[in-house]
Chains A and B, each alone.
Chain A
Amino acid sequence: MSIESILPLVRKPGRYIGNELNSIHKNWDDVSLHIALAYPDLYEVGMSNLGIQILYDILNKQKEVVAERVFCPAPDMGEKMYGQVLNLPLFSLESWTPISKFDMLGFSIGHELAYTNIIEMLHLSGIPIYSKDRNDSHPIVFAGGPCCFNPEPIAEFIDFFLIGEGEEAILEVQSVKLKAQNLGRIDILKKFSEIEGIYVPALRNKVKKRHVADFSNASVPTHPIVPFIQTIQDRGVVEIMRGCKRACKFCNARVIYGPVRERDPQRVIDLAQEIIKNTGQENLALVSLSSSDYCDIERVSKELAQKLAEQKVSLNLPSLRTDSFGVKLAKEISRVRPSSLTLAPETGNEKLRFSIGKRITDQEVFDGVKAAFEGGISAIKLYFMIGLPGETDEDLLSIAELVKKAYQIGRSFTHRARITAALSTFVPKPHTAFEREEQISIGETLRRQKIIKDNLHQKGIEIRWHQAETSFLEGVFARGDRELAQVIVKSWELGAKLDAWSEYFKFDIWERAFAECGIDPSRYLRMRDKNEELPWDFIQLT
């Protein structure tokens, strides 16, 4: 059976066909290095990832290299491939070449719940799951992305990691590989380990996080691929800044994407227009971790919004600060009136908010809410975290109070006011001020969620929450070690995949896998003593 004959039988065949505008097709035999770029989730998630587009562009600009894409097949497709895995191995989108034929396979890993998808993709490719079982006939498997700042849980599956930014490092990797095509596996890995930012688990080398010094002029894909099917973030994107000037203690993004570097305002405006010209996208987003802190945000966004409006393209600033300045700016640049707006007070009161490093007063939160309703927005989403260090039941009650007050503000403007309170569970992340803190258990998460729910029965207010089991797993793997590799493989064997999708996530599989491996997962949630060695200590940040 061929790929062609399976496609009519699966949902959304557009995920697998390639040929999108701006995708690059090179003749296989015209180049000497073939790299498959993978995102271990469905097409519509992977194609929303900027990192993949950046590396795809940089690698394909090299004459001797081709980069093609591959994503995790949806279960209906995967099942059809399993049935005949020898006949139909996982293939690249561009040339439908089996992944095992590539010289290298690189995963961009965005979150911990994608780990079983890596196993699924290796298996469907016919590539041994464990690094130690591969030989010179197999592709070299590498990985990068935010999850690699604690690579240990997946270290046995990956031949080398790129810790930090890839724009420059990937060029060094391809150049080393091109010069050493005939070198054996371990010898080439030794050569890779000499590149700054590269960690080879088999060598257990120390590594320094990589970052691009001249971010303003760093390579930007001006001809990004335009998907046929609707993706999660279906829009043109220009990064305006990397790093974050804030110092929230719970957040690892500041560390991962630091230091703070801004892109020249004129270059931002030029890039945005060029991307629209080359893609025809109807939306463009200026992205960063905190766009209110960008040097020239007001002028750049207003000027750009005006230019893009001529082509009926709308501009989005997804990460504005939630004060009245941010809310007003978001409203001003928006071509169509936004119907809802998201603010992230994180806590119910400013005492706890300040203690986690988020320096926004309650008054500023309410000013943001007021500005939004004043501007004609009728629905507001408020994000909160529960389980923060030092959090008491009074703090939880204060979340309910804050939400009620926000609703009252809304009601003074419109009878249609609606508030959605979204509760996530705090997961301590490596390389943050809270990396040694305790994470609350599943039971405690449910108890704390209930306190808020019990105190927020009100028309016009909706509560949503992260599934406690999902946050639990995320927490286990975020601070996990090499012991966990067997659990990932075992869960996958028992049928776990696409764990980030609630319709596919099955917690009982994971419970069984932990039990069969004899590992008590709750020990990964515990508080770490200040002298205890951490699995990610070998990564030097600056």
Chain B
Amino acid sequence: MGLYTINITYTKGEEVKFISHLDLIRVFERAIRRANLPIAYSQGFNPRMKISYGQALKVGATSAGEEAKLTFEEEMSHKEVVDRLNAVLPKGIKLLYNV
């Protein structure tokens, strides 16, 4: 089974600037489940979604361009990932169309 990675860039706005990096990881995992995307999971007893994040942003700071890498089990277009996640993410977090 092939794996496909998509690099994303997202903004962290005023509404969520006090959310810690750990909380943000949960936000993405839950958004991916709501969007029903074919995300890949790690092996083992407690499978985790295959997502890698850039360096953690300080609590309280906003950002116009944070990065993450998502791994899927099916081939996905960048645009489709952005569309489907933006439709379900809470206010303040938005994926950008240009990487």
Residues of A within 8 A of B (CB): 7-8, 13-14, 17, 19-21, 226, 228-230, 276-282, 311-313, 336-337
- Given A19-B16, A228-B16, A336-B45, are A276 and B23 also a contact pair (CB < 8 Å)? no
B80 at the interface (CB under 8 A from A): no
Which B residues form the contact surface with A (CB < 8 A)? 15-16, 18-20, 23, 26-27, 29-34, 36, 41, 45-47, 59-60, 88, 90-92
Given A14-B19, A228-B16, A228-B23, the answer on whether A278 and B34 have CB atoms closer than 8 Å is: yes
Establish whether residues A313 and B18, one from each chain, have CB atoms under 8 Å apart when the complex forms: no
Cα separation A282 to B18 with both chains bound (whole Å): 23
Chain A's closest residue to B23 (CB) is A228
Chain A residues near B31 (CB-CB < 8 A) = 280
How many CB-defined contacts (below 8 Å) exist between A and B?
64
A312 contacts B23, C-beta separation under 8 Å: no
Task: Report how far A8 CA is from B32 CA in the complex, Å.
Answer: 29
| Distance in Å: Cβ of B85 to nearest Cβ of chain A | 11
- A363–B27 Cα distance when bound, in Å, is 46
Beyond the given A8-B18, A17-B16, A312-B47, please list 11 additional residue pairs across the A-B interface where CB-CB is below 8 A.
A7-B60, A8-B60, A17-B18, A228-B16, A229-B20, A230-B23, A277-B34, A279-B30, A279-B34, A311-B36, A312-B33
**Which of B20, B30, B47, B92 contacts A14, CB < 8 Å?**
B20
CA–CA, A313 to B30, complex, Å?
11
Say yes or no: A282 contacts B30, CB within 8 Å.
Answer: yes
Pairwise interchain contact A228-B60, C-beta atoms closer than 8 A: no
Known: A228-B19, A280-B29, A311-B33. A20 touches B90 (CB 8 A): yes
In whole angstroms, how far apart are the Cα atoms of A281 and B33 in the complex? 8
Residue of A nearest to B22 (CB): A230
**DSSP majority for the A interface?**
loop
Q: How far is the CA of A413 from the CA of B18 in the complex (A)?
A: 48
A228 — which chain B residues lie within 8 A by C-beta?
Answer: 16, 19, 23, 26-27, 90
Residues of B within 8 A of A13 (CB): 18, 59-60
Tell me, in angstroms, the Cα distance from A431 to B19 when the chains sit together: 44
Shortest distance in angstroms between A485's beta carbon and chain B's nearest beta carbon? Answer: 37
Q: Closest CB of chain B to A278's CB: distance in Å?
A: 7
> Contact partner of A280 among B23, B33, B92, CB < 8 A?
B33
Nearest Cβ distance between residue B77 and chain A, in whole angstroms?
Answer: 22
CB distance from A305 to the nearest CB of B (A): 16
Chain B residues with CB under 8 A of A226: 30, 90
| Cβ distance A95 to chain B, nearest Cβ, rounded Å | 13
A20 to B93 Cα, complex, angstroms: 11
- In Å, the complex CA distance between A230 and B31 comes to 16
Q: Which A residues are in CB contact (< 8 Å) with B20? A: 14, 229
Chain B residues closer than 8 Å to A280, beta-carbon distance: 29-34, 88
Q: In the complex, which of the residues B15, B23, B41, B47 contacts A229, with contact meaning CB atoms closer than 8 Å? A: B23
A94 to chain B minimum Cβ distance, whole angstroms, is 12
Contact status A312-B34, CB under 8 Å: no
Question: Min CB distance, A322 to chain B, in Å?
Answer: 25
10 A–B pairs (Cβ distance < 8 Å), ordered by A: A7-B60, A14-B23, A17-B16, A21-B30, A230-B23, A282-B29, A282-B33, A311-B33, A312-B47, A336-B46
Residues in A neighbouring B47, C-beta threshold 8 A: 312
- Residues in B neighbouring A14, C-beta threshold 8 A: 18-20, 23
Distance in Å: Cβ of A170 to nearest Cβ of chain B: 27
Give A13's nearest chain B residue, CB to CB.
B18
Residues of A near B45 (CB, < 8 A) are: 336-337
Residue of A nearest to B88 (CB): A280
Q: How far apart are the CA atoms of A380 and B92 in the complex, in Å?
A: 43
What is the CB-to-nearest-CB distance from A436 to chain B, in angstroms, rounded to a whole number?
48
For B58, give the chain A residue with the smallest CB separation. Answer: A8
A313 CB contacts on chain B under 8 angstroms: 33
The contact of B92 among A19, A229, A312, A337, by CB within 8 Å, is: A19
Nearest chain A residue, comparing its CB with the CB of B20:
A14
Q: Give, as a whole number of angstroms, the nearest-CB distance from B14 to chain A.
A: 9
| Minimum CB distance partner of B90 in chain A | A21
Chain A residues near B30: list those with CB within 8 A. 21, 226, 279-282
Give Cα A7 to B19, complex, Å. Answer: 11
